[in-house]
Structure 1
Amino acid sequence: MNYGEFSKRLETITAITVTPFDETTKAIDWDGVAANVEFLIVGGAEVIVPCGNTSEFYALTLEEAKEETRRVTELAARRAIVMPGIGYSAETAIELGRNAEKAGADCVMIHQPIHPYMTTSGAISYYRKVIEALDIPSVLYVRDPHISDEVLVEVTKLDKCVGVKYAINDLPRFTQTVRTIPAECGIAWICGTAEKWAPFFYNAGARGFTSGLMNVYPELSQAMLRALRTGDWETVWQLWENVVPFENLRAKYNNGNNVVAVKEAMEQLGLRAGVTREPVDPLDEQDKREVTRILKSWGKIT
């Protein structure tokens, strides 16, 4: 594989799937998963991430995560890059990564370790161990501001590290990191905090961004990507103003609404999203009304 060419394909919208859970049993609704993947592909998604945080990765059992990866990869049928999320212990991440390889996924996204006692050298060892154990390339997902920039400097030297999903909203720090890591490393920098932050990160070097909004209003996400690529900043900021209320709602309660706001919007549009699993509760009535107001402002419902 030409890793440099592959990383360039990641400079786009990274669409995170939702995992629909049955309202009574909270079992995965696999028909709903299939409908979600098809919606994303029809909406123009070029990179799809099952087992991301919007997919409620940490609410899935390992077997469910493996099955979601297998099914989404099969459903995508090479129409989009499939980048399953993997994580937990290094050995578990490798197990999930090998499952992704066997399923035919194109690459993996390594969730940042959630261990409460992490050192810089330990994080480097974790990422290196997982990346080197897999044949397909890896993208790092970084969201904890306490993680040292040295981790990225070292891990991005690996050939099979092709991208970084950067979800720390510290633009000077991100800019310095991008400028520190040589272009020869061929890293695809991805804004990990969606459309609200995408214009700012784009100017600092992130040519792609993640999106939960793609599950609701893909046309809006795609329009922002086009405007960013063409330098049409008047359009970028008009679109940004439309996006911000929804992303602010998702960020409420220390991002506690992140997934459930997307699911509520999908359900109000007649799409299959199902409920969330613990520890995420349904939206309260006030926030549900806000979802309705936003969808009306977009002309998605009357």
Structure 2
Amino acid sequence: MTTDPATQTRPPFGRVLCAMVTPFTQEGALDLDGTQHLAAHLVTHGCDGLVLSGTTGESPTTTDAEKSALISAVREAVGDRASIVAGVGTADTRHTVELARAAEKAGADGLLVVAPYYSRPPQEAVEAHFREVADATGLPLTLYDIPGRTGTRIEPGTLIRLAEHPRVVAVKDCSYDFLGAQQVLARTDLAYYAGCDEHNLALYAVGGAGCVSTVANVVPDRIRAVLDAFDAGDTTGAARLQQRATPLITAMMAAGLPGTVTAKALLGALGLPAGPVRAPLMPADRETTDGLLRLYEELTAIRGRTLNGDPH
């Protein structure tokens, strides 16, 4: 089936999703009060949905019980104001199915399922893995293609076949294969979410559904403004807003530290719940945090001038 971007239906989980950090106390325990505070803040400031227990949420170092507790706490905090997509992907199909069922029970609206990592299964096995997870619950699936971390690509042909499953509805794309993404968009109704902040506008412009943004942890309104401008027909303005966010995107996502580390450092500097990262990650140093804060202040100052009538 050929998809016309102009006639696409509403994205299944909204347009602007935040790949939310998992707040911890200074002692390293799960901070559910902080989680609720941060979730409510993000939704109030422009996020349509929250992705929990993804890469940015430090899913490798949270327990199964903590993952379920996060979903329940965030559902209580945001109610029906935002979608909750729960990361349940692991290297073990059986464990992934267990997490998927637990997420459904805890109140998630959808599942984020990464390609099985480390063992590097062939595409036939990757497809079988996703189908088994999709059959395990009544929740819709977002397939997470991030071969730089998993070692395994979800090939375009595999995505096209999986799109035939009624509960496979979306892709979080971190493949850095822009042509491959367009090929899948042209042949399926899958909702494509940019998983790399530098691609938010580019993928949206060719028919993507929106983004799953790490940078939205700190500037959710700025991430949303790019897509809002594009939807309003102001493509030049959308490009300008994306470009203005690029220095912060670069510092948070492409300066040598994981996005989890930079997001938590900046959130802490802004007085928002985040807490430390769990080992083996290590916190950002003072110089890095100060640099992030400076770029944040520059970006938000630009926004203030724009709102006051100065478009430049």
TM-score by length of 2: 0.87
CA separation in 1, counterparts of 2:266 and 2:251? 11
Alignment match, 2:29: 27
Alignment match, 1:265: 266
Deviations 1:179-236 (A, max 9, x none): 2x33xxx321111112x21121122321211112222122211211101212312211
Could you tell me whether the CA contact under 8 Å between 1:39 and 1:215 is conserved in 2? no
Alignment match, 1:104: 107
Match of 2:170 among 163, 177, 187: 163
Percent same amino acid at aligned positions?
A: 25
Alignment match, 2:223: 221
CA separation in 2, counterparts of 1:112 and 1:6? 26
Deviations 1:115-134 (A, max 9, x none): 33311101001000000111
1:176 aligns with 2:183: yes
| Secondary structure of 2:147's aligned partner | coil
Match of 1:153 among 150, 160, 185: 160
Gapped runs of 5+ residues in structure 2?
1-7, 302-312
Could you tell me whether the CA contact under 8 Å between 1:11 and 1:208 is conserved in 2? yes
Match of 1:10 among 13, 19, 33: 13
Alignment match, 1:129: 132
Alignment match, 1:233: 235
Alignment match, 1:76: 78
Match of 1:66 among 65, 68, 74: 68
What are the within-5 Å matches in structure 2 for residues 267-286 of structure 1? 267-286=268-287
Could you tell me whether the CA contact under 8 Å between 1:7 and 1:187 is conserved in 2? no
| Secondary structure of 1:84's aligned partner | strand
Alignment match, 1:197: 199
1:237 is aligned with what amino acid?
A: A
Could you tell me whether the CA contact under 8 Å between 2:248 and 2:296 is conserved in 1? no
Let me know the Cα RMSD of the aligned residues.
Answer: 2.0
Alignment match, 2:118: 115
Aligned residue pairs: how many?
290
1:144 aligns with 2:147: yes
Could you tell me whether the CA contact under 8 Å between 1:155 and 1:161 is conserved in 2? yes
Alignment match, 1:46: 48
TM-score by length of 1: 0.89
CA separation in 1, counterparts of 2:300 and 2:85? 32
Could you tell me whether the CA contact under 8 Å between 2:215 and 2:252 is conserved in 1? no
Could you tell me whether the CA contact under 8 Å between 1:251 and 1:257 is conserved in 2? yes
Give 1:241 deviation, angstroms: 2.1
Could you tell me whether the CA contact under 8 Å between 1:120 and 1:150 is conserved in 2? no
CA separation in 1, counterparts of 2:9 and 2:204? 19
Could you tell me whether the CA contact under 8 Å between 1:7 and 1:188 is conserved in 2? no
Following TM superposition, the consecutive aligned residue runs of length 4 or more in structure 1 with deviations greater than 4 angstroms are: none
Could you tell me whether the CA contact under 8 Å between 1:110 and 1:138 is conserved in 2? yes
CA separation in 2, counterparts of 1:295 and 1:203? 26
CA separation in 2, counterparts of 1:115 and 1:285? 34
Could you tell me whether the CA contact under 8 Å between 2:111 and 2:141 is conserved in 1? yes
1:178 is aligned with what amino acid?
A: L
